Structure 1
Amino acid sequence: MTRPFRRRVLYIPGFDPIPPRRYRELYKREGAEQARISGYQLEFGSRRDRTGFGWGVSGDFNDGRGEAEVEVLIWTDIVQASMGQSIPATYGQLLRTAWTYITSGALFRMMRLRRGPVLAALYPVVALILQLLSSLLVGGLIGWTAGHLTGPGWWLGLPIMLILTWVGLKLWQRLDGRIFVHYLMHDYAFTAQHSGAYPEALEQRIGQFADRIATCLEQDWDEVLVVGHSSGAYLGVSVLADLIRSGRVTGDGAKLSFLSLGQVVPMASFLPRANRLRADLRYLSARAELDWIDVTAPGDACSFGLCDPVAVSGIEPPDRRQPLILSAAFRQTLSPEKQKSLRNRWFRLHFQYLCAFDRPADYDYFAITAGPQTLGARFAGRTHSPGRISRAVNGWTAI
């Protein structure tokens, strides 16, 4: 009996405070749907290696059988700690983050690449200002009315206005599970807090992730696949750069692969103190120890669709090998009905890379993670998707 292809998947999520079990349920639900659409079989179960949080999956495909164990590399605690902010602190984040992106020139340079992710970044700024103004307006009108009808004027009206303004802001905050204003503000503030440099807690976690991947490379796998989504894509770059620099990727065992999805690299690499990330991008792009595929989509307003993260950051080396820039092409791979159901759900679209496509093409997340081919073999011979953006517009290129 032929031995199935064996893979270890290590998934690095983006800036997400929600426990990782959501990713397990998403994978199972969407994987079952993709298998039904594409005509292959997937089975979900437990893992032999119970380190961390994850799940097992096996599949029968036209080109063979694959088995995989998926593990989520968790930094949820760091995200949650950064989000424990009062309303005044959130408005302080707004001012500091806007100042960082505007005065560094990063905001305007990113606009030259894609307007979508920049508008997405401006959304929480504008929304927080409107929330404050609307709360002040309602509180002021009620306070003015109460003060003048009862006689004391603003001696009564001003306290009422302040109290109702605070109540209004608290009500807006309670709606954040639907409108994501505070969440996105915390996300962008986290990236900008040190002008692109990693905070110490995140540096330590990057080191732990590298150690974990090194351990997996020593085990009996055909491929160790690192998947980074959104902010997790640039964390993956630094993790893998550290891993290779340390000499722990020998090439004797499992093939090391990196799949970056919906990346937002310019949000960090365009900032003045992102020297570490820029150096990692430059280094990783020239290494032969791994295969790196970057998948985005112009229809994803939260990512820099088809923007080459190395080239646009202005640090492309002469011996560059990767990443290969591919489009998930939502307009072609999702039916008109599916596109209609996702219209204006831009946050859900940002997670489409992890979901089923009802008109699948080359990109299939579940075949990539559970199928019998390495990432490099699956996309061997491919060239960059049409529309790749490679012009260097970054004003900060020190490494």
Structure 2
Amino acid sequence: MEKFKRKVFYLGGFDPRGVRFYHQLYREQAARHAALTGQPLAVSARRTGPASSAIWTVDNPKNGVETDYEYFRWEDLVGKVWIRNPLTLALRSIATYAGHARFMQFGRMRRLRHGPVITILYPPVLALLIPLLLALVPALVLSLLVPFWAAALVGIAISALLSGRLLNKLVVPWLLRFLYYHHCLAADGPGDALDARIDQFAERIAQELDGDWDEVQFVTHSAGTILGMRLMRRLLALRGGRLPDHFVMLGLGQVVPVIGLRRDAAWYHDDLRALADKSFRYVDISSPPDGAAYYNVNPFHLVADHHAARVDMLSPRFHLFYDPENYHGGWSNKYEAHFDYLRVGDRLSPLDFISLTAGRRTVDDAVAAFRTIP
């Protein structure tokens, strides 16, 4: 069997955990995939890549597939803006929602998808209500037995002890950090450091497009789907506006409207407009129950009525591939649901991450196989 050689470039989201976490996650999911198929996958140790990246190889000997996986690193830039102090986070969240109130097209967002509107609006509500209720309810009950000032102190202590854990379980602090960062990104642009990193990444992809690859994937996930559009503009400029047929861009859990619907993000609107008349392959895989993702929202339609890219908009239909007890549904699982794009379920899907990046099918073949599932 002739070996199928694939190059994968991965650009992840706003996450300080970085390459160690994602390399381990890939190894775990490759093991799950192997257990389901009976076909071993060998995932190498990671090594330093040439452009703020890390590289590992994935060998699928049974199917004759070899994948060179390059992880684009920007967790160092995330770490520099990751807010750890709760008071600082609270104050900056005020600026975030003032900016959203002024510039976000909430009406248009609601017409596109209801879920992300709720995801944007519930963090400040819960951040206020949960500590208040955890303090007030015990205080009112105890005030029947002890002086109110003593009951109030106990209520405050209980709230301080429990509210942080509950808010973390509901992903409130992470969402507030995410929203503040993207509020600043919309208003001020990427800045020199991030723009330089995006240039590096675009140059790396451009260098490999003429390599000995049967398929080249540029995979973006979560906030990486936002930066991925800017990177694609740079890549197309480097390649004279044309990309080879074996190149495909994947968007997983796409969140482009977080910036694309901000009226002050003129720099980003320019990026999307520049891409709208360019021909390339784009596959968007976003789940309707994922409250952060914009399922079936074509990012190019945010700025243009028509586009030249060949686009598929798909739901991964996770419920078909997970047993009910393992399916990430419900409010407390919203964060985990946003990472199911990178996992393997209890049954194989043509669109699970390991099948896409280490399997024999091309992305086009995987999409065609997925569409045959009832």
Q: TM-score range by the shorter chain?
A: 0.7 to 0.9
Q: Distance in 2 between matches of 1:186 and 1:237?
A: 22
Greater mean alpha carbon deviation, residues 81-90 or residues 299-308: 81-90
* Equivalent runs, 1:253-264 vs 2, <5 Å: 255-264=246-255
CA RMSD of aligned residues (A): 3.6
Amino acid at match of 2:16: P
Using the TM superposition, name which of 49-58 and 109-118 deviates more. Answer: 49-58
Q: Is the contact between residue 214 and residue 249 of structure 1 (CA under 8 Å) also seen in structure 2?
A: no
Quote the residue 2:272 is aligned against.
281
How far 1:336 moved relative to its partner? 3.0
Write the distance in 2 (CA, Å) between the matches of 1:5 and 1:176: 46
Distance 1:212 1:139 in 2: 58
Matched, 1:244 2:232: no
| 1:346 equivalent in structure 2 | 334
Determine whether 1:36 maps to 2:56: no
Distance in 2 of aligned mates of 1:129 and 1:296: 30
Counterpart of 1:332 in structure 2 is 320
Match for residue 221 of structure 2 among 205, 218, 229: 229
Q: Secondary structure at the match of 1:24?
A: helix
Residue 19 of structure 1 deviates from its aligned partner by 2.6
Retained in 1: the 8 A contact 2:83–2:177?
Answer: no
Q: Which amino acid aligns with 1:334?
A: Y
Q: Which is further off, 242-251 or 222-231?
A: 242-251
| Alpha carbons 1:196, 1:272 under 8 Å: kept | no
Look up the SS of the partner of 2:281 in the other structure: strand
Question: Is 2:309 the counterpart of 1:309?
Answer: no
What's the % identity of the aligned pairs? 30
For residues 332-365 of structure 1, what are the alpha-carbon distances to aligned partners after superposition, in whole Å with 9 as ceiling and x for unaligned? 23333433x6544111111111111223343132
Distance 2:201 2:282 in 1: 18
Matches within 5 A, 1:371-390: 371-379=359-367
**Which whole-Å CA distance do the structure 2 matches of 1:327 and 1:196 have between them?**
31
Counterpart contact for 2:286–2:294, Cα < 8 Å: yes
Q: Which residue in the other structure is 1:389 paired with?
A: none
Residue in 2 that maps onto 1:270: 261
Contact 2:134–2:163 (8 Å) recurs in 1 = no
Q: Give the 3 Å change call, closer, same or farther, for CA 139–197 of structure 1 in structure 2.
A: farther
Task: State the distance in 1 between where 2:339 and 2:69 align.
Answer: 17
Compared with structure 1, are the counterparts of its residues 60 and 364 closer, same or farther at alpha carbon in structure 2 (3 Å cutoff)?
farther
Structure-2 residue corresponding to 1:22: 21
Does the 8 Å CA contact 1:295/1:325 hold for their aligned counterparts?
yes
When the two structures are superposed, what TM-score results if normalisation uses the length of structure 1? 0.79
> Deviation per CA, 1:188-221, whole angstroms, max 9, x where unpaired?
1111125355230322221222122223335433
Does 2:46 correspond to 1:73? no
- 1:250/1:308 CA distance change after superposition, 3 Å: closer
SS in 1 for 2:310: coil
Equivalent residue for 1:125?
A: 124
Instruction: Please say which of residues 81-90 and 15-24 is displaced more in the overlay.
Output: 81-90
Structure 2, unpaired ranges of 5+: none
The answer for the alignment partner of 1:366 in structure 2 is 354
**1:17-52: CA deviation from partner (whole Å, max 9, x where unpaired):** 113211111111122212332454422224687543
Query: What are the Cα deviations for residues 94-127 of structure 1, in whole angstroms up to 9, with x where unaligned?
Result: 2121122222242332122222222122232112
| Distance of aligned partners of 1:46 and 1:212 in 2 relative to their CA distance in 1, 3 Å threshold | same
Q: What are the residue-to-residue correspondences of 1:77-96 with 2, within 5 Å?
A: 77-96=76-95
Question: Which deviates more, 274-283 or 26-35?
Answer: 274-283
Distance 1:212 1:260, change over 3 A: same
Q: Deviations over 1:349-392 (max 9, x none)?
A: 11111111223343132121112343245446998x99xxxxxx
Structure having the higher helix fraction is 2
- SS of aligned partner of 1:69: strand
Q: Is residue 2:44 matched to residue 1:45?
A: yes
Q: Relative to structure 1, is the Cα distance of residues 232 and 170 closer, same or farther in structure 2, using a 3 angstrom cutoff? A: farther
Alpha carbons 1:44, 1:58 under 8 Å: kept: yes
Matches of 1:55 and 1:170, distance apart in 2: 42
Letter in 1 for 2:320: Q
May I ask how many residue pairs the two structures share in their alignment? 367
CA contact (8 A) 2:103 2:264 kept: no
Question: Does the 8 Å CA contact 2:206/2:238 hold for their aligned counterparts?
Answer: no
Q: Give the C-alpha shift of residue 248 in structure 1.
A: 6.3
Distance 1:132 1:336, change over 3 A: closer
Q: Separation in 1 of the partners of 2:197 and 2:135?
A: 42
